[in-house]
Structure 1
Amino acid sequence: MKTQVRSNWSSTVLVCAKCSKRLGGGFGPKGKQPLGKALRQHLGLKKGRKSAAGVVDVKCLGVCPRGAVTVVDAAASREWLLVPAGTDLDAVARALDLLPAADG
């Protein structure tokens, strides 16, 4: 029996699916996608464990902010992000260490 499975993820991000659903989208080029899907698409991530990073939609994180989505970077799980609808996806990716920091 296998007790471990390997993934190619360099980082893992948890996105509250309930917050995303309450917003009815709010992200992506047309502002109609949930945050998790828009972030995966923006970063060009594949699905599953063969992707470079994991963006996982979870049921509910229990914070429920108005007009925002709760996001947890698993590497820095003590600090949770509240991402307002319409936030630039590059800024979200940088805050989650999914993109290198901008020079300057």
Structure 2
Amino acid sequence: MDPLVVFDCEKVLTNRFAVALAAAARSRALRRGAPTRSQVSAAGANELALREIAEGVFTPVELVQLLGGESGADLLAAPVPQKEPCPGVPVGSVEASVPSSRETVH
């Protein structure tokens, strides 16, 4: 499998959890005999499902169904977290990008 196909999937679904859910649902459908929507030959149902998502062959309504119905609709438009500026520090300065906590990560 091409390792870059996941990055192409993230252009369609920004949340990696949503990519995994949609690919698993589509893979199950393909194994049950659903027709393919891609002209690309793939090694198996999992790879084909990821390639179909990456190519953008599904409408947003179909993606919601793959994500588990209306409860998965919020995974389609996952907001990109915005960093809050540090109070008292000018935006764009070096100090603004330094985390305030000094925890040691092991």
Q: Report the TM range for the smaller structure's normalisation.
A: under 0.3
TM-score by length of 1: 0.26
| More relative contact order, 1 or 2 (CA 8 Å, 6+ apart) | 1
TM-score by length of 2: 0.26
Structure exhibiting the larger radius of gyration computed from Cα positions:
2
Query: Quick check: which one's strand share is greater?
Result: 1
